[in-house]
Amino acid sequence: MFTEAQLYSPVTQGADGDVTVHLSDQHPGVHDPVYRSRRNAIAAMALEYRPGDPVPRVDYTAAEQQVWQIVSRELARKREKYACTEVIEAAERLGLPSDHIPQLDEVTAKLVPLTGFRYAPAAGLVPLRQFFGSFADRTFHSTQYIRHHSAPLYTPEPDAIHEILGHANQLASPRFAALYETAGAAVSRLETERALKFLADVFWFSMEFGVLREHGEVRCYGAGLLSSYGEIEEFRDADLRPLDIHAMGTVTYDITHYQPVLYCAESITEIEDVVGEFFETVTDETVARLKGVQPI
């Protein structure tokens, strides 16, 4: 089973305050006590953070820096080959460093002048309502840990490489940042978890795994593809279907595999018209109608 960049490791805090990140048995770092201790310490810093506090800075090791250098270099090459022009140009304007892992406040300092987005630390999985709702304030919750050094081009969970090389390069585009903000504003209108999950699924097939046609080629704009060394090479082999909000919000998919079905836009304008319009107008009643069920 392929599980790249999809599953967050659960994080728990005991009565004594000790924080534990529960890595899966298949995680490359599960048998490395030094890595596990690092993950626990980084998660603990994120859990202690409160809005308004200085963003915790991680003293990354030489091994972690080397992982970033390897992956940053490889993904930059693939971005030029497979990403859409909007993302390529946004990444150039953002200018993320390739020689070191940027601290989250460094990412914020680069993003704010471009689109106003700020990064805040997350220990792991952030509840859907909080994660998406924060977009309305142009805040993105990001992990700070780095994948295990034994497999720099693979991760079984989203790490800082996904959050920064994937999402920050996308968020540096004013057009894509506006879509995030619109999705975030929608959360305040949604009362049911069913409607929130529907919005999250549409976001999954657009801002995470979205593709579009450009100059006779299919190119990607989704952060999940932009940050995946493997899947960015394979997405053109997926079953490419037109944008369809009903399908994007109801199709069954497996987050532990490459996505076999992707929804392909004809342009960024179509993404704004179709996905953006959905984010701007969605309500619980909209989702109930799309799913063909009665509102709760």
- Active-site residue list: 162, 167, 208, 227
Query: Residue 263 pairs with which residues in a beta bridge?
Result: 241
Q: Which helix (H) or strand (E) holds 11?
A: strand 11-13
Alpha-carbon distance values, 156 to 16, 134, 166, 229 (Å): 29, 25, 15, 12
Contact 184, 134 (CB under 8 A): yes
Cα–Cα distance, 84 to 259 (Å, whole number): 19
Contact 82, 76 (CB under 8 A): no
Residue 19, sorted as left (phi over 0), alpha (psi -120 to 50) or beta, turns out to be beta
Q: Which helix (H) or strand (E) holds 52?
A: none
Of 289, 246, 49, 69, which is closest to residue 161 (Cα–Cα)?
69
Contact 43, 11 (CB under 8 A): yes
Of 84, 92, 37, 81, which is closest to residue 221 (Cα–Cα)?
84
Query: Residue 141 pairs with which residues in a beta bridge?
Result: 120
